[in-house]
């Protein structure tokens, strides 16, 4: 009888845990503080005809930088190392080119040597004739999420120093990410690489699949990720998955997720990282990736969950592999 009672208790506990886990994942996640109207304004601006696809080196990219600097200032960021603009050069197709990262900082309310970094690339594919590649999901959505993180962190005050970087030239080869790590490797850089506890990369967070989940790459590198996930989703019940499907929505695009975005440059210098994104969809790298197709509530919920990683206790990040 005692063994039967114990067995029943175990079964009941597992059932309750399963129900609890299910209840914590809602296909329509709640949002508590994210400014959805501002998210919509940011995405519609970045994915506008005026900015013409934000291709690196174009007039549209220059207008994008003007907008981002204005928004960085509005939300309360200070220039990183004396300037919001960080130019870099690279060679593509035997041509020398120039990209410009936009970077701002929010220092901790109490002095500390600890830093965390948020990335989102602002460039896209530009236009071919009259066909504009608007890049609403890729990656106006991620930039809008970054701006929400910066705005809320500035409003609340941060226990950790924060560096926000809108990278350029991700599309032609992750050049903005490599330029950032080159700066971080500089002996005079603040922060130094060993001071960075975590980098978050937001790239395509506006078009959830039928599971309505945000997919996080890099989770297996953290021994405490299960606890991190619980903290991220406790308030809004956002669905989080750590194993991406091969494709959805008619797409047959195969993506190497480690090398898919600027977190790869971060990975190569040993900084712990997490990549937030959705699977590729039929509008990926097409002119049809437009602002009207973005799920603003989902972007807001993703930003709110990612914010928890900016204030989470450092000991949960120390077990990174």
pLDDT tens for the 321 residues of the chain, in order:
443 333 433 334 433 333 334 446 888 999 999 999 999 999 999 999 999 999 999 999 999 999 999 999 999 999 999 999 999 999 998 999 999 999 999 999 999 999 999 999 999 999 999 999 999 999 999 999 999 999 999 999 999 999 999 999 999 999 999 999 999 999 999 999 999 999 999 999 999 999 999 999 999 999 999 999 999 999 999 999 998 765 545 554 556 789 999 999 999 999 999 999 999 999 999 999 999 999 999 999 999 999 999 999 999 998 655
Whether residue 18 lies inside any domain: the answer is no
Alpha helices in the chain (DSSP H): 2-23, 36-46, 59-75, 142-156, 175-184, 225-233, 263-268, 296-311
The span from the CA of 237 to the CA of 81, in Å, is 38
Structural domain that includes position 117 = 26-316
215 pairs with which residues across the strands?
241, 277
The span from the CA of 213 to the CA of 240, in Å, is 5
- pLDDT of 92-134, one tens digit each? 989 999 999 999 999 999 999 999 999 999 999 999 999 999 9
The span from the CA of 309 to the CA of 229, in Å, is 9
- pLDDT of 295-312, one tens digit each? 999 999 999 999 999 999
Q: Give the HSE-up count for residue 100: Cα atoms under 13 Å, Cβ half-sphere.
A: 18
The span from the CA of 77 to the CA of 165, in Å, is 11
Closest CA to 216 of 292, 290, 278: 278
Report the CATH number that the domain containing residue 159 is assigned in CATH. Answer: 3.40.630.10
DSSP letters, 212-256, are -EEEEESGGGBTTHHHHHHHHHTTT-BEEESS--S--TT------
Model's pTM, two decimal places? 0.91
- pLDDT of 20-52, one tens digit each? 344 468 889 999 999 999 999 999 999 999 999
Q: Cα angle vertex 269, ends 137, 200, to 5°?
A: 35
Whether residue 7 lies inside any domain: the answer is no
Whether residue 250 lies inside any domain: the answer is yes
Whether residue 13 lies inside any domain: the answer is no
DSSP letters, 172-210, are TTSHHHHHHHHHHTSTT-SS-GGGEEEEEEE-S-S---T
Whether residue 2 lies inside any domain: the answer is no
Whether residue 15 lies inside any domain: the answer is no
pLDDT for 320: 59
Whether residue 14 lies inside any domain: the answer is no
What's the token pair of residue 41?
């304004």
Chain centroid to CA 228: how far?
Answer: 16
Count of domains for the chain: 1
Whether residue 136 lies inside any domain: the answer is yes
**CA distances (Å), origin 270, targets 88, 169, 193, 265, 315:** 22, 22, 8, 9, 18
The span from the CA of 278 to the CA of 255, in Å, is 12
Closest CA to 179 of 87, 56, 55, 72: 87
């Amino acid at each position: 009888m005692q063994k039967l009672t114990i067995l029943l208790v175990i079964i009941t506990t597992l059932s309750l845990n399963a129900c609890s886990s299910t209840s914590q994942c809602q296909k329509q996640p709640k949002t508590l503080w994210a400014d959805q109207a501002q998210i919509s304004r940011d995405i519609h601006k970045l994915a506008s005809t005026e900015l013409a696809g934000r291709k690196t080196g174009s007039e549209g990219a220059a207008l994008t930088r003007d907008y981002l600097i204005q928004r960085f200032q509005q939300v309360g960021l200070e220039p990183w190392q004396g300037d919001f603009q960080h130019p870099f050069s690279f060679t593509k197709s035997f041509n020398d080119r120039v990209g410009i990262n936009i970077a701002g900082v929010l220092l901790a309310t109490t002095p500390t040597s600890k830093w965390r970094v948020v990335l989102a690339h602002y460039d896209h594919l530009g236009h071919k004739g009259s066909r504009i590649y608007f890049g609403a999901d890729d990656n106006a959505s991620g930039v809008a999420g970054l701006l929400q993180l910066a705005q809320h962190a500035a409003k609340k005050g941060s226990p950790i120093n924060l560096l926000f970087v809108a990278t350029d030239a991700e599309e032609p080869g992750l050049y903005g990410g490599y330029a950032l790590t080159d700066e971080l490797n500089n002996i005079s850089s603040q922060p130094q690489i060993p001071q960075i506890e975590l980098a978050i990369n937001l790239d395509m967070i506006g078009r959830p699949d039928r599971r309505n989940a945000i997919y996080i790459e890099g989770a297996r590198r953290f021994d405490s990720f299960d606890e991190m996930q619980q903290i991220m989703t406790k308030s809004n019940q956002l669905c989080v998955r750590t194993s991406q499907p091969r494709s959805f929505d008619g797409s047959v695009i195969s993506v190497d997720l480690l090398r898919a975005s600027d977190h790869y440059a971060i990975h190569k210098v040993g900084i712990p990282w997490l990549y937030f994104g959705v699977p590729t969809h039929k509008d990926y790298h097409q002119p049809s990736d437009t602002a009207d197709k973005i799920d603003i509530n989902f972007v807001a919920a993703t930003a709110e969950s990612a914010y928890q990683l900016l204030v989470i206790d450092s000991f949960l990040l120390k077990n990174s592999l």
